[in-house]
């Protein structure tokens, strides 16, 4: 398993591969594929729980899913998202909840959304010995403030602000930063501005690594695919076909056959 120093050392050497998992079998496959990092993202609120946004996800949800992921991928570095309101209100909340996630779930690190405004929390969590990945650019926990999921870093001011946030997080001690949905030219500058790896999602090719939601890149969702997702398979429609076939076979008596009987 990579540890945080090995992850940091990958910057300027080779691209870092991160994918999401919320349960055992996906984690098992990701470990088999030797991805560098598994993220138990609070995107599970949408992908697993069928919600519209990540806001309702709880610390208990994150712990439950991370435990299943660690069982499937015991030898892969696992990062767990700190969900909405587990750290924003106070440094004490951040420390207590990060400690609880690490202690109860077996995660190797936590990811926290936010820039300069959450530096005290980031420093305090690192202070108790928990590695922190930052997350700037589009922050899905702030969806209500944005009124949607806009591209970030489109103006010079936004770009400057993002660079300042990345530098503040680096100074606070994060071992890496997730950069979400940032204009590619701005993302390239942000990646250059810090010495820790910047892992992009929808932020162009110049980041130090890439992360996607595994269910998106496997093509589980036929109805909507964000522009930044490349589908490597079409598992949703393929699974649907198999389910319909099973259903037909049961109804027609083709399943079970002698082969599946004792």
Q: Give the residue numbers annotated as catalytic, written as ranges.
A: 180
Q: What is the DSSP letter of 142?
A: G
Among 163, 211, 217, 218, binds ligand KIV (CB under 6 A): 211
Measured from the CB atom, the residue of 122 and 211 that comes closer to ligand KIV is 211
Distances in Å between the alpha carbon of 250 and those of 7, 49, 70, 146? 49, 29, 36, 48
* Cβ 209 to ligand KIV shortest distance, Å: 11
* Cβ 171 to ligand KIV shortest distance, Å: 22
Both tokens assigned to 114? 């936010």
Tell me how many degrees the CA angle 64-94-138 measures, rounded to the nearest 5. Answer: 80
Measured from the CB atom, the residue of 169 and 201 that comes closer to ligand KIV is 201
Contacts of ligand KIV in 159-198 (CB under 6 A): 178, 180
Both tokens assigned to 207? 């980041």
Contacts of ligand KIV in 7-46 (CB under 6 A): 20, 39, 41-43
Q: Would you tell me how many other CB atoms lie within 10 Å of the CB of residue 152?
A: 24
Distances in Å between the alpha carbon of 111 and those of 79, 219, 228, 261? 6, 25, 21, 48
CB 90 within 8 A of CB 65: no
CA separation for the pair 80, 210 (Å, rounded): 17
Task: Answer yes or no whether residue 201 interacts with ligand KIV by CB under 6 A.
Answer: yes
Q: Residue holding tokens 């076909």?
A: 241
Binding-residue pattern over the window 103 to 142 for ligand KIV, x denoting contact by CB under 6 A: ----------------------------------------
| Nearest of 87, 82, 83 to residue 109 by alpha carbon | 82
The residue of the chain with the least Cβ separation from ligand KIV equals 41
Measured from the CB atom, the residue of 88 and 255 that comes closer to ligand KIV is 88
Which letter, b or e, does each residue of 89-115 get, where b requires 16 or more Cβ atoms within 10 Å of its Cβ? eebebbbbbbeebbeebbbbbbbbbbb
Contacts of ligand KIV in 64-83 (CB under 6 A): 81
* CB-count exposure of residue 254 (10 Å: 0-12, 13-18, 19+): exposed
Measured from the CB atom, the residue of 221 and 255 that comes closer to ligand KIV is 221
Binding site for ligand KIV (CB under 6 A): 20, 39, 41-43, 81, 178, 180, 201, 211, 213
């Amino acid at each position: 398993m990579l540890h945080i120093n090995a992850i940091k050392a990958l910057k300027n050497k080779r691209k870092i591969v991160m994918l999401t998992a919320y349960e055992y079998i996906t984690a098992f496959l990701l470990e088999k594929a030797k991805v560098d990092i598994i993220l138990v993202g609070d995107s599970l609120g949408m992908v697993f729980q069928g919600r519209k946004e990540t806001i309702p996800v709880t610390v208990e949800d994150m712990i439950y899913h991370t435990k299943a992921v660690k069982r499937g991928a015991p030898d892969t570095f696992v990062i767990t998202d700190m969900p909405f309101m587990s750290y924003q209100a106070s440094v004490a909340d951040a420390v207590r909840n990060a400690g609880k996630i690490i202690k109860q779930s077996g995660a190797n690190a936590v990811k926290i959304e936010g820039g300069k405004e959450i530096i005290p929390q980031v420093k305090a969590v690192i202070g108790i010995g928990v590695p922190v990945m930052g997350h700037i650019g589009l922050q899905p926990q702030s969806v209500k403030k944005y009124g949607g999921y806009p591209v970030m870093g489109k103006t010079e001011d936004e770009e400057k602000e993002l660079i300042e946030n990345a530098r503040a997080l680096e100074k606070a001690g994060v071992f890496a930063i997730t950069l979400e949905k940032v204009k590619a030219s701005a993302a390239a500058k942000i990646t250059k501005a810090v010495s820790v790896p910047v892992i992009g999602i929808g932020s162009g090719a110049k980041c130090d690594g890439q992360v996607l939601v595994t269910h998106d890149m496997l093509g589980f969702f036929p109805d909507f695919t964000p522009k930044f997702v490349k589908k490597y398979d079409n598992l949703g429609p393929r699974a649907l076909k198999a389910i319909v076939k099973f259903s037909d076979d049961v109804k027609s008596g083709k399943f079970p056959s002698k082969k599946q009987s004792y």
